[in-house]
């Protein structure tokens, strides 16, 4: 029997990293998965979730590491699932210790333009590196887009405290893919003055409205309310409504980020029900595609960096005004 395996590293095994790990159970390609996290608790939780997903009975091998010393020095794929504040440092550390063929990087890529440059200088400005802004890969969105005329469009997404900082990038990338246009401007004038503590300690989220513009005439608004109570952390809800209106059609999506069921209604009454997938559902086809074909449907690092740079520039301007000091990074995760 051929025992050859692809080597995959998950850097960061917290909430999201452990869901990536669960998803790898379903990969067709045979894997040796290295899970790296300095936290004993995070590694233990990841192992529990691996077993819950049937990993112990799968064709794959998994090993857990508190440092990179025990990780393979030739890696077919690295999944960087850390928080944004340490992502650049983790990418640099992995790249100094291993030869890496492909990368999947979580959003938000970084908290500053300097860290974006560190990542692109280390990973490269394209090629085999992708960013997990998954909205463009969602079958439900693809079905709706296939029945639309493309850009330019006017769009509006709004809801409770759904995370303009940490999740707005999904919407911005979705509309870039939907219209084939490039993001060119972010207006932060409609944001509320105060930034609010996020669910992860040490991180913050803005509320209010971001207005954005794209190269082909598309414009949009992203609105998030503050948490409903003082005890609630920012960024814990999902958007309630997304409208996408072009020259000849208008779609209105109820619960557009729902992992259970959302509803899209066209102006003529046509209805498409659907949902977004869990990360554990997305991972296997994504990783198999990269390992087998060398590509996938996520945006590459170069395209995503351009979009991130514009968003971070706007948010940093607002954060500086709010904090009253010359910060060089914005504390979103």
Give residues with Cβ within 8 angstroms of 84, minimum separation 6.
Answer: 106, 107, 108, 109, 110, 111, 332, 333
C-alpha 6: how far from its chain's center? Answer: 24
DSSP codes, 171-215 = HHHHHHHHHT--EEEEEEEEE-S--EEBSSTT-EE--EEEEEEET
Fold exhibited by the domain 139-276:
Dihydrodipicolinate Reductase; domain 2 (3.30.360)
Q: Please tell me the predicted confidence (pLDDT) of residue 213.
A: 98
What global pTM score does this model have?
0.96
Q: What's the rounded Cα separation, in Å, for the pair 108 and 88?
A: 11
CB half-sphere exposure, 267, CA atoms < 13 A: 9
Question: DSSP 3-state assignment of 20?
Answer: helix
Q: Dihedrals φ, ψ of 217, to 5°? A: 110, -5
Q: What's the rounded Cα separation, in Å, for the pair 332 and 199?
A: 11
DSSP codes, 37-82 = -S-HHHHHHHHHHHHHTTGGGSS-EEEEESSGGGS-SEESEEEE-S
Q: Please tell me the predicted confidence (pLDDT) of residue 125.
A: 63
Q: What's the rounded Cα separation, in Å, for the pair 90 and 77?
A: 14
CATH superfamily of 6-133: NAD(P)-binding Rossmann-like Domain (3.40.50.720)
Q: What's the rounded Cα separation, in Å, for the pair 24 and 227?
A: 34
Residue the block writes with tokens 């395996």: 5
Q: What's the rounded Cα separation, in Å, for the pair 123 and 185?
A: 26
CA distances from 275 to 23, 43, 57, 141, 148 (A): 18, 30, 29, 9, 18
What the block records as the tokens of 271 is 């209805």
Counting beta carbons within 10 angstroms of the beta carbon of residue 129, is it exposed (0 to 12), middle (13 to 18) or buried (19 or more)?
Answer: buried
Instruction: Return the closest-CA partner of residue 257 out of 157, 172, 181.
Output: 157
Q: Please tell me the predicted confidence (pLDDT) of residue 230.
A: 77
8 A C-beta contact, residue 240 and residue 255: yes
8 A C-beta contact, residue 263 and residue 273: yes
Instruction: Return the closest-CA partner of residue 212 out of 265, 271, 153.
Output: 153
Q: Please tell me the predicted confidence (pLDDT) of residue 278.
A: 97
What are the residue boundaries of the structural domains of the chain, listed by start?
A: 6-133, 139-276
8 A C-beta contact, residue 275 and residue 263: no
Q: What is the mean pLDDT of each run of 10 residues along the chain (333 residues)?
A: 83 97 98 98 98 97 96 97 97 96 97 97 85 98 93 96 96 97 98 93 96 98 92 91 96 97 97 98 98 97 97 96 86 95
221-277 pLDDT, tens digit per residue, is 999 999 988 788 999 999 999 999 999 999 999 999 999 999 999 999 999 999 999
Helix ranges (H only) for 98-138 are 113-123
8 A C-beta contact, residue 209 and residue 225: no
Instruction: Give me the helix-helix angle, 139-146 and 164-179, nearest 10°.
Output: 40
Residue the block writes with tokens 């003529």: 268
């Amino acid at each position: 029997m051929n025992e050859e395996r692809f080597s995959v590293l998950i850097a960061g095994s917290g909430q999201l990293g452990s869901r990536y790990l669960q998803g790898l159970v379903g990969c067709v390609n045979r894997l040796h998965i290295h899970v790296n996290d300095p936290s004993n608790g995070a590694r233990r939780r990841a192992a529990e979730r691996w077993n819950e997903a049937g990993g112990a009975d799968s064709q794959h091998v998994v090993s857990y590491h508190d440092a990179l010393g025990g990780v393979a020095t030739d890696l077919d794929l690295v999944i960087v699932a850390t928080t944004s504040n340490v992502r650049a440092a983790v990418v640099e550390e992995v790249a100094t210790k291993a030869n890496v063929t492909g990368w999947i990087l979580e959003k938000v890529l970084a908290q500053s333009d300097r860290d974006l440059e560190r990542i692109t200088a280390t990973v490269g400005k394209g090629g085999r590196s992708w960013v997990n802004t998954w909205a463009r890969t969602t079958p439900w969105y693809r079905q709706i887009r296939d029945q639309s005329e493309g850009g330019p469009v006017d769009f509006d997404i709004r809801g409770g405290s759904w995370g303009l900082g940490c999740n707005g990038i999904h919407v911005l990338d979705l509309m870039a893919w939907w219209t084939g246009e490039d993001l060119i401007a972010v207006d932060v004038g409609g944001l509320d003055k105060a930034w609010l503590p996020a669910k992860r300690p040490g991180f913050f989220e803005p509320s209010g409205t971001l207005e954005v513009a794209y190269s082909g005439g598309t414009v949009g608004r992203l609105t998030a309310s503050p948490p409903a109570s003082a005890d609630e952390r920012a960024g814990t809800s999902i958007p309630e409504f997304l409208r996408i209106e072009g020259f000849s059609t208008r779609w209105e999506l109820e619960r557009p980020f729902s992992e259970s069921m959302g509803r899209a209604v066209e102006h003529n009454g046509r209805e498409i029900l659907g949902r977004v997938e869990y990360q554990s559902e997305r991972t296997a086809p994504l990783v198999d595609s990269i390992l087998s074909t060398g590509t996938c449907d996520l945006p590459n690092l170069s395209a995503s960096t351009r979009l991130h740079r514009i968003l971070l520039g706007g948010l940093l301007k607002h954060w500086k005004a709010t904090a009253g000091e010359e910060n060089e990074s914005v504390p979103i995760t």
